[in-house]
Chain A
């Protein structure tokens, strides 16, 4: 019990520290690749502190849903972060929720965020909610198929078990089923974290926005919580990708030395994935909204192929 609490505490601190950093790294890398100077990698922390010191403006039309949503978004993303192996194979709360709980807890956060979008009464909010729920609905089957492929290989939906299984066969990612599942999950990651070509995180007050439209009315500490929640969610999905497919360097125990090594390798892997995301974002143009289902259908087909190839090979 105490051991679990200590582990949770350590991982919580790690989550809160790394999530804004990764967001900052992606922003900086993107700016550099587009020959802009861009903010430095620590800008997200400054944003957070600044937002925390600001006052809030709450729309007259909003109800209590608007006020509880930031907390729920933050709490679901953070709880999910404790269920996923970051630097060691056994995640603190892995026993209490596997990959299905992860997906559905994130859905809980999204459910409330979409309600908050409608709650403001502005048409931007409704527009964002509608699009967010639509895209996430069609991304879900692709995500599940890819996850199932990995889970069936590991014989478990528990993320620690999945990571353990991956560690024991560390070259497994070269198998076609794993590569296909990775590709499918990568597309879902792009869609779920609101990146080009599906959504654009840098956009504001444009008709193409999705996530930003939902949170348009938020300000001050509420916005800080929502932003932090979104960064943690992004980190969780990236971690899911790097640690289930490339489990190198995951520490098998919670010693300081093991965790230190694990952390270094983990950050390295995240950096690699971040570079990949930046490449995709920079080399693609944003899609029309109604082209997005085609992209996600491709992800679904990739997931289905991944599943079939576990059966064939």
Chain B
């Protein structure tokens, strides 16, 4: 009966989510009640799920339970193992933080929008995520997956009176269905081979798959999950959909819904498809590098705060895929220990990114909430009216840039170490790929730092650039608590990584059959190492402590001197023209100008300047400036694809003449054809 509480907490959590969904819908006429229900029950459900997840990770064997449905190939079968527990934990942490945040965030909807319906979709999203992560049957998984896509669609188009929002929602729902289609085909292929749709049966049948079948299944699943995860070139829905959704939903979408794609990859590639050939791992690695570098490069060009964050999601998914790809390669070349380290790097980065991206989106939400704009060029100086939000956003920015001693650094460090180990573990020219990928990770990290200097610096520092940011107010308390919780998580996961390694042991033991946690910790439990005799070591705890120890005498010395010498405030240097105003400040566009020129081959920037002048062109009265970059993927890849589909649909019209006789004839012909097919068997 040791396993009893997991199932209890889990089902109770599911029950709370479902009850919350119905209760919200029922109370749609009472906005205040609906708002409290929406956040309260979701918070309670998330806490229950967190408990279940922690128990699920820390226990040894997976807990399974199944209810037969009577439908062939389908059954309500759940398996609560370490991997499911890990992703459920991430989703519960985010669900809790977002629910706390939403208590006051949703206030502005009162009387204007249907909070009851919002709460219904919100609960449904959390419920479907939990089902998708724990389903042990392919079709149950797909139901969870589909409900998740539809609930997310409903939430993305919550501001549906906006044309941009509707278009983004449409794009999202189309991509989500292409994705489900791929998965359906993949599962059909696997269940045909195994005769059942249970994940457990795939595992046993994997050995009998032919090379071609395995490759086909891999490609289908990789495609399907990549679309969900927003991997380049299937990312186009992500920067469209995330910014237009309400900010608490953007936080969940980028934080955990996108990670469902990563969950699927880990589940299928490591658990259901058998040992994949080396090219599969290399493909995942290369796609990861491309996503990481291109994602951050596109992020740099954005001055819409939320769209910038959305592009960073693409970048971080790329970093996660790098870890996954290396893990797949290690697994096939027979280095399970190294594979475990790489897998830890990938899933730890998944958790980290979930936390800091959720934090950053919530921060952006607070900014949008009070200023009403997402355009960084109209913001500025928010650190004074919104000190707590600014601090939380800064911590998130440092973490996402992979800077020590926060959590982003730890997972990127592990990814680097895995890539370096890849050089030693493989042979032939392919080994060069790993250090090159490492240098691209370095480029990504440095560009991300540049981008977040821009995002934080332009939004929160210097002088306000518009009326909206001049009247900004600090976010209400519950929003601050939501962000503060995630901020603390970034710091704790960074400094205390060595405490949390046992969590990953359970996952690697389940998927790869090895536990490396003990090897990774050395030096009195303070130091993280690569597990190999020399390898590399790092200790975020000592780095944090060291920085503190060095800061104290410097602060003491300088403040002592400052007191003795005195200091005064004065205007910043304005080149002798009196009155430094916000018009003198650097803008987000100007900040990224250097990189726009350096990578102009990618961006194909276009700009237009028109000056209006009376006497001399050197004294313009007004200047009109316009600048844009080419949306390469939309134009070069999806444009022709769309044309092709439209062309094909117009051709299809030929057989759809609208005549009932013709349709009857089609039905008759189909029937005869099917009869012939069946009788010949």
Contacts and interface: CB of A to CB of B under 8 A. Distances in A.
Interface in B324-378: none
A270 B523 CA distance: 33
Given A130-B592, A130-B594, A311-B432, A100 B416 contact: yes
A225 B423 contact: no
Interface in B443-467: 443, 445-447, 449-450, 452-454, 456-458, 461-463
A313 interface: no
A140 B598 CA distance: 15
A195 B452 CA distance: 26
Nearest to B403: A108
A96 B401 contact: no
A196 interface: no
A22 interface: no
Given A61-B580, A157-B420, A123 B567 contact: no
A129 B538 contact: no
Contacts of A133: 446, 449-450, 453-454
Interface in A220-269: 220-222, 225
Contacts of B461: 63, 65, 115, 118-119, 121
Contact of A60 (B424, B569, B591): B569
A82 B463 CA distance: 38
B435 interface: yes
B570 A54 contact: no
B509 to A, nearest CB: 27
A61 to B, nearest CB: 6
B453 A118 contact: yes
**Residue of B413, B439, B440 with most chain A CB atoms under a 10 A cut-off:** B439
Nearest to B413: A100
A59 B568 CA distance: 9
Given A63-B383, A100-B416, A145-B435, A54 B565 contact: yes
Given A96-B543, A304-B436, A129 B554 contact: no
Contacts of B598: 134, 138, 290, 293
Interface residues of B, number: 85
Given A115-B461, A145-B435, A95 B527 contact: yes
Contacts of B441: 144
Contacts of A111: 398, 401, 403, 449, 452-453
Contact of A93 (B449, B546, B574): B546
Nearest to A111: B449
Interface string B409-447: 100010011001001100001011001101111110111
Interface stretch (B247-255, B262-270, B582-590, B660-668): B582-590
A87 B181 CA distance: 63
Interface in A126-153: 126-127, 129-131, 133-134, 136-145, 148-149, 151-152
B113 to A, nearest CB: 35
Contact of B442 (A70, A82, A131, A144): A144
B555 interface: yes
A117 B585 CA distance: 11
A119 B547 contact: no
Contacts of A103: 442
Interface in B539-581: 539, 542-543, 546-547, 550-551, 554-555, 557-558, 561-562, 565-574, 580
Given A61-B462, A108-B404, A144-B442, A130 B586 contact: yes
Most B Cβ at <10 Å: residue of A76, A110, A148: A148
Most chain A CB atoms below 10 A, which of B394, B550, B593: B550
Find the residue from A124, A137, A157 having the highest chain B CB count within 10 A.
A137
A166 interface: no
A98 B458 CA distance: 33
Contacts of A121: 461-463, 572, 580, 582, 584-585
A90 interface: no
Interface string B502-531: 000000000000000000000100110000
A182 B592 CA distance: 31
Contacts of A63: 383-384, 461
B420 to A, nearest CB: 6
Nearest to B558: A221
A104 B453 contact: no
A163 B122 CA distance: 56
A212 to B, nearest CB: 12
B201 interface: no
A220 B567 contact: yes
A303 interface: yes
A221 B555 CA distance: 10
Nearest to B596: A134
Nearest to A149: B435
A124 B584 CA distance: 9
A56 interface: yes
Contacts of A64: 383
B59 interface: no
Nearest to A98: B536
A103 B401 CA distance: 13
B112 interface: no
A71 B551 contact: yes
A74 B553 CA distance: 11
A9 B461 CA distance: 37
A229 B594 CA distance: 26
A33 interface: no
A98 B457 contact: no
Contacts of A31: none
A275 interface: no
A114 interface: yes
A9 B586 CA distance: 42
Interface in B580-615: 580, 582, 584-586, 590-595, 597-598
A141 B568 contact: no
A118 B586 contact: yes
B212 interface: no
A202 interface: no
A58 B567 contact: yes
Contacts of B543: 79, 96-97, 101, 105
B658 interface: no
Contacts of B535: 155-158
A144 B442 CA distance: 7
A158 B442 contact: no
Given A122-B572, A157-B535, A152 B424 contact: yes
A18 interface: no
A188 to B, nearest CB: 11
A7 B636 CA distance: 59
Nearest to B561: A221
Contacts of A221: 557-558, 561-562, 565
B651 interface: no
A60 B570 contact: yes
B402 interface: yes
A161 interface: yes
B537 interface: yes
A75 interface: yes
B163 interface: no
A97 B523 CA distance: 12
B567 A53 contact: no
B420 A59 contact: no
B547 A216 contact: no
A96 B539 contact: yes
B264 to A, nearest CB: 30
B538 A127 contact: no
Given A79-B547, A97-B538, A141-B442, 19 more contacts: A55-B566, A59-B571, A61-B572, A71-B554, A79-B550, A96-B537, A96-B542, A111-B449, A118-B453, A118-B458, A118-B591, A122-B580, A133-B446, A134-B595, A137-B447, A145-B438, A145-B439, A148-B438, A311-B431
16 contacts: A56-B565, A60-B569, A96-B527, A100-B536, A101-B538, A107-B401, A118-B461, A119-B461, A126-B585, A127-B586, A142-B439, A144-B442, A152-B423, A293-B598, A307-B436, A311-B432
5 nearest A-B residue pairs (beta carbon) = A126-B586, A118-B457, A157-B536, A133-B450, A121-B462
